[in-house]
Amino acid sequence: MTLFCSFNGEPLSDAKLHVPNTGPWVLTGRINNDSKVPSGIVECQFCGLTLKGTAVAERSGQFAGWSSVRVVAGRGGWGKVLPKKGYTNGVGVKASTVAEDAARECGEELAAFNSPITRFSGNYIRRESFASTAIEAAAGSALWWVDYSGKTRVGQRTGTAGTFDLLSFDAESRIAKIAAESASNVFVGQKIEDKRLQSAITISELNFSSDGKSLTIEAWCGDSGSRLESSFRKIVKRLQGNSIHGVYEYRVVSMVGATHCALRAEDRESGIPDLISVGMTMGLPTGRAVLVPGHLVYVQFVGGNPSKPIITGYQNNGSVVSVTLGGPVGMPIARATDPVAVTLPSGNISGTVTVGGVPSPFTGSITFANPIAPGTIISGSLIAKAG
């Protein structure tokens, strides 16, 4: 069994290694050296693994001739706060650009980027926040993590499984206890199949510990997040209740009558269902539109009430069959090809009148026996503009 643990060549005691599903791994332990608080880039050994990371002086210290150390994967930069930044690109801001900028600015190395998001919209903003927030946004539903060599990767976690034994599995806590000759024999994302299990389980988080005499491996096999993240999500959902806040993208499936639409949720992972019949507001009383299938619309829930969805916005480059403004009172609006009645005015005229091919000067007044004449509007505009 490989039990040796070291910190920059010095033996490391009481070593513990935490490897989450997303983000950087963290190594802690003690070295018999109180000359100074460890800091900077280091190379460590942990039970068959070679780790490259950064010693965090703020989380290290000394006592009774020993120095406690905390090493974060890579340069330890994903916890830094980055300033706000705006992006503009006519064909859409590349998600890889957002990730690469964040990595460069926080001092990390981005070795691989395989996100389901290729581009954002033409305008994208990065708020002032942790660097990890920026790469999480660029990664979308993909995982991001820092590998044992200190390089950041976005995509699917893979590895090479070695020999190990499944000692036990608690279905309630989703914790599996594993025995292995080396910490390199198991990895996050690894599927465990065992005839004693009701179904296969997948490792989402690993916790290793070594006292120099034995290696203990505990694997959390819950959802795709971390154990702590999963707990927080449950708390937030409980506090939020059934309220739905925010703006959600939907595609029009069909019109339902003259004022409502059947909609399909654009983000299938948002937890928001399709909607059968939703009304619309155009920001004007009685305003509504007849939309074509596939048109992108924005839906909100009034007061967070899931029983009060309403279409509050529309994609600008979409197309509509018609737009209705107005109601049962007020002045009517005419369109091209609409029939109209034209009032012919009476009045004084002065000019030339041709009768029988002979022009003659004429000055006087003209009055129509029937001053109302029918007609048809022959031109118009698809855009109405005032001012």
Note whether 176 and 138 are same-domain residues: no
Count Cβ atoms below 10 Å from residue 206 Cβ, excluding itself: 22
The pLDDT of residue 352 is 82
pTM of the model: 0.70
Q: Kindly state whether residue 164 falls inside one of the protein's structural domains.
A: yes
* Three-class secondary structure of residue 250 per DSSP: strand
Q: Kindly state whether residue 330 falls inside one of the protein's structural domains.
A: no
DSSP string, 193-227: --TTSSS-EE--EEEEEE-SS-EEEEEE-SSSS-H
- Which pLDDT band, with edges at 50, 70 and 90, does 387 fall under? very low
Tell me how far apart the alpha carbons of residues 5 and 11 are, in angstroms, rounded to a whole number: 6
Note whether 33 and 85 are same-domain residues: no
pLDDT tens per residue across span 124-170: 999 999 999 999 999 998 999 999 999 999 999 988 888 999 999 99
Tell me how far apart the alpha carbons of residues 203 and 20 are, in angstroms, rounded to a whole number: 10
Q: How far is CA 101 from CA 108, 141, 284, in A?
A: 10, 19, 42
pLDDT tens per residue across span 116-125: 999 998 889 9
CATH of the domain at 198: 2.30.300.10
Tell me how far apart the alpha carbons of residues 37 and 69 are, in angstroms, rounded to a whole number: 8
Count of domains for the chain: 3
The pLDDT of residue 296 is 92
Q: Kindly state whether residue 278 falls inside one of the protein's structural domains.
A: yes
Note whether 41 and 9 are same-domain residues: yes
Asked which of 103, 138, 155 is the last residue of a domain, the reply is 155
DSSP string, 134-146: HHHHHHTTSEEEE
Identity of the residue numbered 261: C
* Three-class secondary structure of residue 300 per DSSP: strand
Q: Kindly state whether residue 59 falls inside one of the protein's structural domains.
A: yes
Selected residue with higher pLDDT from 238 and 180: 180
Q: Kindly state whether residue 366 falls inside one of the protein's structural domains.
A: no
**What are the residues whose beta carbons fall under 8 Å from the beta carbon of 332, sequence distance 6 or more?**
326
* Three-class secondary structure of residue 13 per DSSP: strand
**Three-class DSSP labels, 83-140:** CCEEEECCCCCEHHHHHHHHHHHHCCCEEEECCCCCECCCEEEECCEEHHHHHHHHHC
CATH of the domain at 275: 2.40.50.230
Note whether 68 and 175 are same-domain residues: yes
CATH of the domain at 119: 3.55.50.10
Residue 298 CB-half CA count within 13 A: 9
Tell me how far apart the alpha carbons of residues 167 and 175 are, in angstroms, rounded to a whole number: 11
Residue 114 CA to its chain's centroid (Å): 15
Q: Kindly state whether residue 315 falls inside one of the protein's structural domains.
A: yes
Note whether 5 and 138 are same-domain residues: no
Note whether 271 and 288 are same-domain residues: yes
- Residue whose C-alpha is closest to residue 348's, from 359, 361, 363: 363
Which pair of tokens denotes residue 207?
A: 């916790």
Q: Tell me phi and psi for residue 136, to 5 degrees.
A: -65, -40
Asked which of 219, 238, 257 is the last residue of a domain, the reply is 238
Q: How far is CA 99 from CA 61, 89, 96, 126, 335, in A?
A: 33, 16, 5, 11, 51
Note whether 151 and 164 are same-domain residues: no
Asked which of 238, 261, 278 is the last residue of a domain, the reply is 238
Tell me how far apart the alpha carbons of residues 187 and 62 are, in angstroms, rounded to a whole number: 32
Note whether 16 and 131 are same-domain residues: no
Q: Kindly state whether residue 352 falls inside one of the protein's structural domains.
A: no
Note whether 187 and 65 are same-domain residues: yes
Selected residue with higher pLDDT from 199 and 331: 199
Note whether 68 and 164 are same-domain residues: yes
Note whether 228 and 118 are same-domain residues: no
Tell me how far apart the alpha carbons of residues 83 and 345 are, in angstroms, rounded to a whole number: 69
Q: Kindly state whether residue 296 falls inside one of the protein's structural domains.
A: yes
pLDDT tens per residue across span 40-55: 899 999 999 999 999 9
Its domain, for residue 303, covers 248-324
pLDDT tens per residue across span 304-313: 888 899 998 8
In the chain, % helix, strand, coil (3-state, to 5) comes to 10, 45, 45
Note whether 143 and 194 are same-domain residues: no
Selected residue with higher pLDDT from 351 and 217: 217
Residue with tokens 């690894």: 190
